[in-house]
Structures are given as structure tokens and as C-alpha cells.
Chains A and B, each alone.
Chain A
């Protein structure tokens, strides 16, 4: 199994992030979700909160997002945030 996954975060304005990551914490509408490589296919709405991505090598990046959706499929995480910074 792959030990990383691809994560893309975009807002209506632009693609904010497109990278390989080790893990991610995503604020779902019904609670925090941790995502690791090889996660099962998932679709969820997002709430407001902190989204943090741990890149390959262990560096963590934080984004504040509010609302949106996340889709996980084939080791590929797509986050569609209404707003993010």
C-alpha cells in the first residue's frame, strides 16, 4: 500500500494546494476526520475549522476553512472549501 496520498484543496477562486501528504485532519460537519493513506472512499460535507495536512517528511501545514466538501477516492483527497486561508 502506498504510504502517501495526494491531496488537493481548492476554493471557487483557485487551487490552493496540490501535494503528496502523509496524513490530514479535516473538519467534517459531524466531527474531525483523520485521513491516512489507503483511506476508503468517502464523501462528506465540511464544517468550519482547522484543516491540517502533514506533508511527506513531517512538515505540517494549517488552513482555516469554512464549509465545503471532501471526497476521498483511490488514495486521492479532494477538498472543496467555500473559503480557505
Chain B
């Protein structure tokens, strides 16, 4: 039977851990709020851009001298670039694991192709580096640096590699923020761009030629998608960590309760034993 002191020590250590998980939960909750606000604020722009792109693409497609824009060129997929957005840190339940599993599945299905990786976040980088994959670009500390410029930097390098024919397709793996309790895994083809179709066709006056507009809209669309993916991933990460730490805190509570109960039982047992010893000792004297 473990001694009283051992159990008391264990209770103390669980309490300490609980304090850490509680603090982490609180921090994530605060950061989640900010991240969520940012992600939501960025949505109108994305929706408007998509709408506009759909209209312009349709108009550009109708004009006679429409030569396909390089970002729309569909080539046989021989060289594929995977952009994997993960977190820098763990302790966020299955946030990283699930995403990496999905990416790994894609890798297994496309072994015959030449795969290269750009990883955003430390966890993804470590994962693929350990497996000996070719990582051509890595971005760390995304959470701190996240801005439009930061997303542009990533997008520019990706766009250039696609346009120059270095890669034939670009896929984006990311966690999409759905709600605090749930996030969606998403795998999308970033390039070549699949032009969204518009529900309504409007006869616009074009200040510039539609092809010219399309040419400048397409890169912006890619940038917008990456920026949005980063925002959503950050929000989803905080949400996942908050939920995980909440569960950890309540598990710690359960554990403390159980240990305390056990401790009391052990103490009671030793008291009873002592009484028996005294009583039987006194009885022996009579």
C-alpha cells in the first residue's frame, strides 16, 4: 500500500499540472477571440473577390483573343507541391495529427509523382523532414507574423514556381475553422485555379480589358486564399487547444477527487490499525 505522503505528493503534482492547463485554456480562449474576429473580418473581401473573379473570367472567356492565363493552365500532374499549414506547438488535441494524416494519405496515393513540400508551422516541417520528404520552403512563427504581407510572400513564391513550370499543381492542406468545438480538414487545389462560376452574368463596362483585369485578379485570388487559410488555421488551432486544455483540466479534477478519496481511505485504515493495536495492547495487560 502506498504511503500517505506518496499520495499527497501525487495530488500536489496533479494540481500543479491542472494550474498549467487552466492557464493555457484561458490564454487560448483570449487568443481565439481575436483570431476569430480577424477571420470573420476577412470574409467579406474574400467573398467579393470571388464574385468579381467569376464575372471577369466569364467576360474574358468570351472575348476572341483570350489566351489562357498561366495560372489557369492545367498540365498533367507530374510535379506536385503540397502546402501544409500546421501549428508551431502541440498540446492542441488532434489538430496537427489529423491534418498530417490527411496529407500523408495524399502522399501515399501519389507516390509516383514528384512531391515537394512547403510547410507552414513547425509541426508539419518536423513531420515531413523526419520522413525524408523534400521541403522547399518552411515558414515558422506564422502565428506571430500573420499579416497580408506575410501571406503575399508565401503566395508569390508559390505562384512563381507554378508559372515557371517548376510544379504542375499546388495543393493546400489546412484546418478550417468551423466552430469552437469543431474544425474541418480541408484539402484544396490552389493552382491551377479553378475559376468560380457566377450565378448571374452582368454586362459590365470594362474600364480595362477583361483579360488584363483577369491577369491581375488571379494572383490576388491566390493570395487571398492563402491569407484566409492562415487566418482560419490560427483560429482553429486556438479553438482546438482551448478544448483540449479544458478537457485536461476537468480530467485533472477527476483525478484529484479520486486520489483524495483514496488518501482518506488509507489514512482511515492506518488509524483503525493503531486503535486495534492500542486496544489489544491494553487488553493484554489485564
CB within 8 Å of B: which residues of A? Answer: 8, 10-15, 28-30, 33, 40-45, 69, 71, 73, 78, 80
Binds A, one of B43-51, B72-80, B91-99, B186-194: B43-51
CB within 8 Å of A: which residues of B? Answer: 38, 41-42, 44-45, 48-49, 51-52, 55-56, 148, 202-208, 212-213, 216-217, 223-224, 227
- Please give, as numbers and ranges, the residues of chain B lying within 8 Å of A78 by CB-CB distance: 48, 52
Closest-CB distance, B28 to chain A (whole angstroms): 22
- Please give, as numbers and ranges, the residues of chain A lying within 8 Å of B213 by CB-CB distance: 43, 45, 69
- Please give, as numbers and ranges, the residues of chain B lying within 8 Å of A13 by CB-CB distance: 38, 41-42, 45, 148
- Please give, as numbers and ranges, the residues of chain A lying within 8 Å of B216 by CB-CB distance: 45
CA distance A30 to B224 in the complex (A): 25
Known contacts A43-B213, A45-B216; is-contact A12 B207 (Cβ 8 Å): no
- Say whether B45 contacts A12, CB under 8 Å: yes
* Secondary structure call for the B interface: helix
- Say whether B207 contacts A10, CB under 8 Å: no
- Say whether A80 contacts B38, CB under 8 Å: no
- Say whether B204 contacts A43, CB under 8 Å: yes
- Say whether A14 contacts B52, CB under 8 Å: no
> Which of A30, A40, A41, A73 is the one whose CB lies under 8 Å from B208?
A30
CA distance A33 to B42 in the complex (A): 26
Closest-CB distance, A19 to chain B (whole angstroms): 14
- Say whether B207 contacts A15, CB under 8 Å: no
Can you name 24 A-B pairs with beta carbons within 8 Å?
A8-B44, A8-B48, A12-B45, A12-B223, A14-B41, A14-B42, A14-B45, A15-B44, A29-B208, A33-B207, A41-B202, A42-B204, A42-B207, A43-B206, A44-B206, A44-B207, A44-B208, A45-B212, A45-B213, A69-B217, A73-B204, A78-B52, A80-B45, A80-B48
- Say whether A43 contacts B56, CB under 8 Å: yes
